[in-house]
Amino acid sequence: MARRTPKDTGSDNTAATGQTARGYHIGTHEIAARPLAAGLYLVATPIGNLGDITLRALETLAGADIIACEDTRVSRVLLDRFGIANRPYAYHEHNAERVGPKLMQALEAGKSVALISDAGTPLVSDPGYRISQTAIEAGLPVIPIPGASAPMAALVASGLPSDTFLFAGFLPSKDKARRERYAAFASTEATLMFFESPNRLAASLKSAAQVFGTERQAAVCRELTKVYEEIRRGTLAELAAQYQDQSVRGEIVLVIGPGSTPVPSEEDVDQVLTRLAAELPAGKAATEAARLTGLPRKELYQRLLEMKDLSAKGEA
């Protein structure tokens, strides 16, 4: 059977039970949903436990003319759980060029489009950002329907400071690039949150301990809100040791606490480099200085070369 496009989606689809698309149920209670005003609705969905869906999200999904999602199979599980008969349509990074314009046509025609990701809040590390920007540029309404968020759940469960925080998305897969990404945030005075693959967790924690320092507090939050939810807290050195020989599965948020010492001044850094360079080769001196100051090794190495060059010119 040919797949319908969002353009020919109607509001009077009927499920096998006879329930119309403009409704949902919670347990045995059936609730009618009013049609939505035209606009792009960014709907947060559960990150694991389906009970975390909000009432407003259910009403929005039931009342929308079109539901756009990353994976229809994943979204269908959620919709079936609450008796929402609207048919979801795939919108992801591989078909965005083709489906995006159709969704925009629907919005411009006065339709309501609910955008959901496989889990959590749309636009957080998923392709929904593109259509959201297009809709905003076109002057169309973009309405957030807040709810579950893996980074926020991890932050509050980590026990680390939450007054200032930064979510930095997915970490690079290659070790060198991952270290550089860590180094870019080494002096950031905020709790950091990253998405990481379970296959790279052990190596990632080892790199983090080397860049941020072994005593930096952190937390590994795995499979949040799901049956096998696990939250481990400790220093980066402790966590790296725990996961060194352990195989893990599931989705992971790595939370790293802010440094406990202020960023050193340029004068202090130069003094550290001068002292270390008198005892060690340039590369090792930069590595040790990075550990002591929390600054990126690459920057310290470059500064050390500049200092040696200035010294050589002064003696000439």
Using the predicted structure, report yes or no on whether residue 296 has a pLDDT greater than 80: yes
Contact criterion met (CB below 8 Å) for 231 and 220: yes
Contact criterion met (CB below 8 Å) for 277 and 304: yes
Give the amino acid at 129: Y
Token pair recorded at residue 306:
């500049």
CA angle, 177 as apex, 212 and 148 as ends, to 5°? 75
pTM of the model: 0.74
pLDDT number for residue 178: 96
pLDDT number for residue 16: 38
Give the helix/strand (H/E) hosting 30: strand 29-32
> What is the rounded CA–CA span in Å between residue 140 and residue 144?
13
What share of the chain has pLDDT > 90, as a percent? 72
Using the predicted structure, report yes or no on whether residue 18 has a pLDDT greater than 60: no
How far from the centroid of its chain's Cα atoms is residue 78's Cα?
21
Using the predicted structure, report yes or no on whether residue 252 has a pLDDT greater than 60: yes
Using the predicted structure, report yes or no on whether residue 315 has a pLDDT greater than 70: no
- With b for 16 or more beta-carbon neighbours within 10 A and e for fewer, the 269-303 pattern comes to beebbeebbeeeebeebbbbbbeebbbbbebbbeb
DSSP 65: S
The predicted model gives 184-203 an average pLDDT of: 94
The pLDDT-based confidence of 15 (bands split at 50, 70, 90) is very low
Contact criterion met (CB below 8 Å) for 207 and 175: yes
pLDDT number for residue 311: 73
pLDDT number for residue 141: 97
Torsion angle of alpha carbons 142, 146, 149, 154, nearest 10°?
A: 130
Using the predicted structure, report yes or no on whether residue 72 has a pLDDT greater than 80: yes
CB atoms within 10 A of CB 87: 18
Using the predicted structure, report yes or no on whether residue 2 has a pLDDT greater than 60: no
The predicted model gives 80-101 an average pLDDT of: 92
Instruction: For residue 23, give the nearest of 71, 83, 68, 74 by alpha carbon.
Output: 83
The pLDDT-based confidence of 223 (bands split at 50, 70, 90) is very high
Q: Using one digit for the tens of pLDDT, what is the confidence trace for 256-282?
A: 999 865 667 888 888 989 999 999 999
Q: Which sign, positive or negative, has the C-alpha torsion 155, 160, 166, 168?
A: negative
CB atoms within 10 A of CB 107: 24
Using the predicted structure, report yes or no on whether residue 9 has a pLDDT greater than 60: no
Using the predicted structure, report yes or no on whether residue 128 has a pLDDT greater than 70: yes
Using the predicted structure, report yes or no on whether residue 12 has a pLDDT greater than 90: no
Strands 142-145 and 217-222, bridge-based pairing? unpaired
The predicted model gives 137-164 an average pLDDT of: 96
pLDDT number for residue 14: 39
The predicted model gives 14-33 an average pLDDT of: 72
pLDDT number for residue 125: 63
Strands 165-170 and 112-115, bridge-based pairing? unpaired
- With b for 16 or more beta-carbon neighbours within 10 A and e for fewer, the 59-79 pattern comes to bbbbbbbbbbbbebeebeebb
Instruction: For residue 153, give the nearest of 30, 44, 308 by alpha carbon.
Output: 44
* Distant-in-sequence, close-in-space partners of 247: CB < 8 Å, separation ≥ 6: none
CB atoms within 10 A of CB 108: 12
The pLDDT-based confidence of 290 (bands split at 50, 70, 90) is confident
pLDDT number for residue 48: 94
Using the predicted structure, report yes or no on whether residue 225 has a pLDDT greater than 90: yes
Strands 191-196 and 252-256, bridge-based pairing? antiparallel
> What is the rounded CA–CA span in Å between residue 136 and residue 117?
19
pLDDT number for residue 263: 63
